[in-house]
Structure 1
Amino acid sequence: MKSTPFKAALGKRYVMIVLPLLCLGLLVNVFWPDRETSALENRPLAKFPAWTPSFLDDLDLYFSDQFVGRDLAINANYLLKKLEGVREIDNVYLGKGTLIQESMPYDASIVDRNMDALSAFRQTYPLNTMLMVVPTAASVEKDKLPPFVDTPAEALDDIFAKSGEGITNIDVRPIFNDHKQERLYYKTDHHWTSLGASLAFEALAQSQGWTPAKATVYPLTKDFQGTLASKTGSPFLKDDIDLYVPENIPEYVVTYGGDHKSRTMYDADAMDAKNKYEVFLGPNQGMVKIECDNDSDRRLVLFKDSYANSLLQFLIPQYRTITIIDPRYYYDDIDRVMKSDLITDVLVVYNYSNFVSDATLADVLSSANG
């Protein structure tokens, strides 16, 4: 079929417009300075590859990471999928006014390892031992999930039923259900808010016979965009971050990595960074120690994931020392910690998804019996 003069002219004009734009885009991408990291995605970006057998694949990844306008394209992709009715991006549900991380599947072998190790640790060190496994937003905020999304029930009852003798289960579900219309989890991040942490502390305090002190709320920022915004490319949702400082909080010193000391658990530098949740204790580390100027004779070892970081502001008034262990980054002798720090209390604080999928807690606890 012969092309008409009109079609030929249109094709010629299309080539005259599009080809220069493609060439211009190529030139811009070649000469535009490379970025080290993506603030939107909260990750390092690929650098120009060295000559290796995988050079072409690495070069493709490099251009994918470094092309000009990448962030705008990611935001546009999110908005387009939202308009198309997509309910989930990269295991994150696009909920009603919020993003909700899909819960990790229950791995019975990992849960059994963690619980057996905790029970054995309690037998080796017969101290006041507490376990708090925090439900995820997917469990608590089911009314905010997209229509027709049915998430599996979280097996918290099964976990708590495995607790050995002398272990106190701290179940935050009743108090969370009473406050489920409040902002217990961030809209753009997988962590709980300071309000959620404060309610969890109320459940812990009730189990220990403490009277929680009134806390002063200090707003820090209104433009936090966390890990879930980074994963999906959501451009508009933003969160508030608040500090809840108990009125009875004593003077204290925080020691990081054995030598760096601070007079506060709050990291002001995080306010200028992408991951503003790190205002609570800073980046993840294997061990941090807090020494408090108070009259308490209690000394706590806290085994935790990052959920516990915003809970610390409520724990400080209750203990003379708090030794904080993140099993994902801890490789030292836990027996030495238990003995040298004169520990009286053991608290495990984990988000449900981490507890059912990560056995590093069992690895650290088991080393005490090794």
Structure 2
Amino acid sequence: MLQQLPAFSLQALESGKFTSEFEAYLSDQFMERDFWIGLKSDADRGLGRKESNGVYIGKDGYLIQKFTPPEKGELEDKVKAIQAFDQATPGLRKYMMLVPTAASILEDKLPPYASGGGERVYSDKIKESDLGNIRYIDAFPALEANKEQPLYYKTDHHWTTKGAFLAYRELGASMSFTPKNEDDFNIREVTGQFYGSLYSKSGFRHIQPDAIQLYYPKVPETVSVEYVDEQQSADSMYIMENLTKKDKYTVFFNGNHSLIRITTGHTEGRRLLIVKDSYANSLIPFLTSHFSEIDVVDLRYYDGDLLKLMEERQIRDMLILYNITTFVEDPSITSLADSVE
């Protein structure tokens, strides 16, 4: 379905929900948008240009999103919000992973004049700040060591399921669970015709589509998914009919939602809260083997009381999972401080 004109309210504006939905509305409803962007990009490529609308065309058919550093004080405000939340939740085990995008892991694919090194700089600033009781889990080394594998889509800003799997393995040691091996899954390619967000945003054409893989446990597991605000439920984390739509990445949980509640068959396990962006969508299925319940919150859309949610759900573990670009750009993260005032 095309995004409709969102209803305006001060609350929606402050949370960032209105601007996000309005951007999607313009993207969906602008007449022949893809045609005009594609025409401009073809002309730019004819002139030898390697960037369009904040997207580089790199080596081996990769489209890579340009990293834009934050304005002065923005990063500090987010760190302060996280610190305030940590101080208000002394009994909560908290973990944080900021995932590098292709701009830094695949820097060798960028055009000669481009640099993706800024992500690492800001990731290190956050890692080296006083995060209190929050354990920072660095995904850089594992992804860097495996960068010859397909860890990122060529036409989309997300990592692949393979990239998410490597990060899941890194989470295990810090979060006190034993991660599964790749041999424990049947890996299936569910589409080979994925043209992602960077393909649409840049307008670059004549690029090969991506494939999407899903990891199915060889020992089947029971999972129930509740989309709380929508009052809908499903018995799978994968919405297979979305593979026929333009944004095929929404095969994972039908895209982003304010609150998703996942119940697994591990009734005696721990309960986990994940505060995240869309990078987490392809990683969460790996975590269902280790927790009895997982509540998933996207602060861009969630306007509830996070502390009350954790108290009611008796949650003792929390994971903050974003890609670095979203973390730097997304103002909703500062709402963590609002939830403890």
Q: TM-score range by the shorter chain?
A: 0.7 to 0.9
The alpha-carbon deviation at position 294 of structure 1 amounts to 1.0
Return the match for 1:309 from 272, 281, 284: 281
CA distances 1:9-67 after superposition (whole Å, capped 9, x unpaired): xxxxxxxxxxxxxxxxxxxxxxxxxxx79xxx993234xxxxxxxxxxxxxxxxxx35x
Read off the aligned partner of 2:250 and give its amino acid letter: E
Partner of residue 4, structure 1: none
- Asked if the contact 2:269–2:290 (Cα under 8 Å) also holds between the matched residues in 1, the reply is no
In 2, Cα distance between equivalents of 1:108 and 1:316: 39
Partner of residue 74, structure 2: 110
Q: Secondary structure at the match of 1:113?
A: helix
The alpha-carbon deviation at position 79 of structure 1 amounts to 3.3
CA distances 1:295-331 after superposition (whole Å, capped 9, x unpaired): 4431011000001000111111111111100000011
Partner of residue 52, structure 1: none
2:29 paired with 1:45: yes
- Asked if the contact 2:62–2:109 (Cα under 8 Å) also holds between the matched residues in 1, the reply is yes
Read off the aligned partner of 2:255 and give its amino acid letter: P
- Higher Cα Rg, which structure: 1
2:53 paired with 1:90: yes
In 1, Cα distance between equivalents of 2:259 and 2:147: 33
In 2, Cα distance between equivalents of 1:143 and 1:262: 41
In 1, Cα distance between equivalents of 2:218 and 2:134: 30
The count of residues paired between Structure 1 and Structure 2 equals 310
Return the match for 1:297 from 250, 261, 269: 269
2:210 paired with 1:246: no
Partner of residue 183, structure 1: 150
CA distances 1:79-124 after superposition (whole Å, capped 9, x unpaired): 3322321010001001111100001213452322222222222222
In 1, Cα distance between equivalents of 2:327 and 2:35: 36
The alpha-carbon deviation at position 175 of structure 1 amounts to 0.5
2:291 paired with 1:324: no
In 1, Cα distance between equivalents of 2:70 and 2:186: 38
Return the match for 1:149 from 85, 102, 114: 114
2:131 paired with 1:168: no
In 2, Cα distance between equivalents of 1:71 and 1:308: 28
The alpha-carbon deviation at position 164 of structure 1 amounts to 2.0
Q: Which runs of 5+ in 2 are unaligned?
A: 4-24
In 2, Cα distance between equivalents of 1:287 and 1:95: 36
2:236 paired with 1:264: yes
* Structure 2 CA distance for partners of 1:360 and 1:71, relative to 1, 3 Å: closer
In 2, Cα distance between equivalents of 1:289 and 1:196: 24
2:219 paired with 1:255: no
- Asked if the contact 2:249–2:255 (Cα under 8 Å) also holds between the matched residues in 1, the reply is no
- Asked if the contact 1:130–1:347 (Cα under 8 Å) also holds between the matched residues in 2, the reply is yes
In 2, Cα distance between equivalents of 1:348 and 1:107: 22
Partner of residue 233, structure 1: 203
- Asked if the contact 2:34–2:200 (Cα under 8 Å) also holds between the matched residues in 1, the reply is no
CA distances 1:197-228 after superposition (whole Å, capped 9, x unpaired): 00111111122343222222111101100111
Read off the aligned partner of 2:213 and give its amino acid letter: D
- Asked if the contact 1:107–1:356 (Cα under 8 Å) also holds between the matched residues in 2, the reply is no
In 2, Cα distance between equivalents of 1:316 and 1:43: 34
- Asked if the contact 1:295–1:320 (Cα under 8 Å) also holds between the matched residues in 2, the reply is yes
In 2, Cα distance between equivalents of 1:332 and 1:351: 23
In 2, Cα distance between equivalents of 1:113 and 1:92: 27
More RCO (CA 8 Å, sep 6+): 2
CA distances 1:224-252 after superposition (whole Å, capped 9, x unpaired): 00111001223332100001233456201
* Structure 2 CA distance for partners of 1:206 and 1:285, relative to 1, 3 Å: same
* Structure 2 CA distance for partners of 1:235 and 1:346, relative to 1, 3 Å: same
Q: Secondary structure at the match of 2:300?
A: helix
Return the match for 1:101 from 65, 72, 90: 65
- Asked if the contact 1:268–1:279 (Cα under 8 Å) also holds between the matched residues in 2, the reply is yes
* Structure 2 CA distance for partners of 1:123 and 1:232, relative to 1, 3 Å: same
In 2, Cα distance between equivalents of 1:241 and 1:355: 24
The alpha-carbon deviation at position 337 of structure 1 amounts to 0.6
> Among the aligned pairs, what percent are the same residue?
35
Q: Secondary structure at the match of 2:153?
A: coil
In 1, Cα distance between equivalents of 2:173 and 2:312: 29
Q: Which runs of 5+ in 1 are unaligned?
A: 1-35, 47-64
